[in-house]
Each structure stands twice: as C-alpha cells, then as structure tokens.
Amino acid sequence: MVHPMSDGPGRWPGTDRQDENGQAQGQGVITGQVWQHAAPPLRTPDRPYEGYVVGPYPYLGADPGPYPYPPPPASPYDSPYRDLAAEPYRERAAEPPGGTAAEPDGSGGAREDPRHEGGGRGGGGRPGRVRPGRFRRFLRLLAALLCALALTGAGTCAWAEFRLDRSVDLGAVADRRPPGKGTNYLIVGSDGRDGLSEQARKELHTGTAGGSRTDSMMLLHTGAHGATMVSLPRDSWVTIPSYVDPNTGKLHRAAKNKLNAAYSLGGPGMLVRTVELNTGLRVDHYAEIGFAGFVGVVDAVGGVDMCVPRNIDDPKSGLKLRKGCHNLTGAQALAFVRQRHQEADGDLGRSTNQRKFLAALARKAAAPGVALDPFSTYPALSAGLDTLVVDKDMELPSLLSLFRAMKSVSGGGGRQLNVPVVKGGFRTAGGSALQWDRAKAEELFAELRGDRPVTTEGEG
C-alpha cells in the first residue's frame, strides 16, 4: 500500500539524506501488519454440490437423512412448469467469441428452454402469450356481430315506432262484434294518391280522382292452426250499416251496396263495421297502405318474381307482360294487382292476383339477402311507413306477426282463398256485383271465429 505522503513504494520524504560519512542512506521500510475489512473465508461444504431442492422445504428442525435428500412432496397445484423447476440447474458454458457455446447435453448449439415455447418478448422468463384458437376468434366475431345487430335492431325499432301512423281508432267503432279465438287482421290497399306527383300518376295510370277508395281487402286470421288469408272482393254485394253523414248530419239506414263503398262513405271505421257486420268476425287490427308506399316497397326490395299463364296487355292499368315469369318493378306490380279486365273471373281473378303477390312480396322481403341488407331494409321500411296506416293498438310485435303470417301463407304454411261466391255475378244499380254464397261463407267465418281448421272450399 502506498501512503499518500510517500515518494513511492517504501520511500518517505527525507530518507535520501546522507550520513556523516557522505554515504546515501537506504530506503526506509515500514514493518508491521495491515488490516482490512473482508468477508470470512468460505467454508468447505461437507458434501459435494449436486443441485438444489425446490421448496417447500420440509426439513427445518429435523434430520433430513442421508444425502441426496428425498424430493419434496407434490404440489397441490397443477403447474406445467413443476417438473421443469424440479430439475437441477445446469450451468451454461461461456459463449466463445466466435460462436455459440455447446450445451451440456452435447447438442452443440443453444437449446431452447421448453418453458419459453410459444415465443415471448426478448426471450424473457415469462411464458409467451398464447394466441387464441380459431374457434375462440369465431366466437368473438359472432358476439361482435350479434351486438351490432342488436344495436341496429334497437335503432330500427325506435325509428319505426316514431314513423308509424296509428290514426285508426278501433275503440271508437260502434256495434263491435265480440272477440273470438285467434287474431284477425284487416289488410287494405287503398287507391290514395298521396305522395304521387302528377307525372307519377300518369305513369302509374292511377287517374286523378280525389279521395281514397279501397282497391283490395283481405282478412288474415292467425291462430292454433296456422294462418288463413281470405280475399274480400271489392265488388262484393254486402250490407252497409246505418251511419250519419258527417257533412250533412243526415241519418242513412242500413242498405245493400258494394263493399268498397263503405270506405268512401266513412273511412276505415265504416269499413271495419261493414266487414264485422257481414262476417261476424271481430277485427283485431287494421293495416292500410297506399299506392306510393306499395310501389316504393317493391322497388326497395329489388322487385318481386311473378309468373303469368298468358300474355297480358291492359291499357287501363298500363300492364304489358308476356307469358312466363318476370321480376316485376314497383310500377308493374301496382298494375298487376289492379288489373281485372284481362282476367276471366274479373274481380275474383284480381283478388287472387293480389293475394299471390302480397305473399310473394313478404317472402322476398324476408329473404336473407334483403332482410340483412340495410341498403334494402331501410328504403323498404321508409317507403312502407310513408303511407302505412294502422290502428292505435298495433304494436311493432303485432305488425311483425302480420308480416310473418303473410310469409307463412306464401310458403305453404297456411291457406289462401276467396270468400265463397255464387257463380255468375248479377246486375245492380251500381253495376255488376258478386254475391256471396251465404251457407259456405257462414261456415268459413264460423271456423275462423272458433279458430278451427278451415275445411270450406273457396275460389283459390
């Protein structure tokens, strides 16, 4: 150790002095012991080191017995790294400058630690993150899609609730029939021109008459035996109940007239009274759509496929179709359900076409390619809601039940028929009309009222 005041190792200031004889004195030497703080020397182990024991260590305070010690008891936890951790640690040889050190197992290269299989960050000590399997990723994707559909469906329902026109008050209708079994919907297609421009009226051959009249009427019954759709021809000769003219205050007694006259005399309320009076059925819900809404819905779903058995050329409706199957546009569809002069059965033939078309429209709208496509669903709903009028008690679930019942009828899950009529119409002061076959008609309506299977035959 060199003292800070020395001239070098073993030299002190002034030690180069000469003695009395002129001889240089030798270097001074300091003798003695030098103490420094250090750890005590390592104790020689009693036994050679051959590994380590993984806890828990059960031998504290007891004689562990002869070496090597027995293995520790099995852990109560099932760890994938238990067996690996119990192995003695093997020292890795130092890596030479020019290459990778050989492993003790003689593999000659770096051995991958099985505890780190699957990767990890920088070869860290934690096990690598396991990527989720395909099934788990599929479940996550499905859950995301369901959430999106739920949110979209909730928004659509709220939007439809806001747009729905519930202006028909069935509670204000007089002389109501008692409730029966099942549910009865009165579906009406009116010839209201609201929403149609002058150019559209010309193109659609709707005419320019003011007001609204019923162009088609159907009763849809749903119950324990499926759905039954019964067409009520507009030219049916029925009894119109007594009413008071709101414009003049004059009382009109009950009288015979065509069914479509009821709507023009007193709107939806008078039509419901007339249908209930002549069928004995209670109308539970009312739904009406105008020309503009009908055309818009058909166009929004991409047209509807219909087949015709012959060539049709009707100047009044503007319909021109060749024999065969066609994808009808909104304008063509409106002409198809309105034309009757090209039908051998006249108004009965038109009623049959209307039923078939509405069922096909419901089937097309429910197809996955349309129902799950927002670019088709929203325009169709918007077009329908623009002119759709329902009763005050019609909730969205009831409207959906109506739609599903129409789809069921089109798929063979129900029956379609015209109300039974007497062959060969008869002349009236208001022109040619259709007279119901009272016996068969009453039997049909009694079966619907009691929610029994329909056995009555009618013109299909």
pLDDT higher than 50, residue 101? no
The residues pairing with 231 across neighbouring beta strands, listed in sequence order, are: 218, 418
User: How far apart (Å, rounded) are the C-alpha atoms in residues 141 and 303?
Assistant: 33
Instruction: Output DSSP code: residue 436.
Output: B
For the CA atoms of 414, 354, 193, 332, what is the dihedral angle to 10 degrees? Answer: 120
pLDDT at 237: 93
- How far is 241 from 255, CA to CA, in rounded Å? 7
Residue 118: pLDDT above 50?
Answer: no
Give every CB contact of residue 81 below 8 A, 6+ residues apart in sequence. 115, 127
Is the predicted pLDDT of residue 345 greater than 80, yes or no?
A: no
Give me the phi and psi of 430, to 5 degrees please: -100, 10
Task: Note if the pTM is more than 0.75.
Answer: no
> Residue 203 has what pLDDT?
63
- What tens digit of pLDDT does each residue of 225-264 get? 999 999 999 889 999 999 988 788 899 999 999 998 999 8
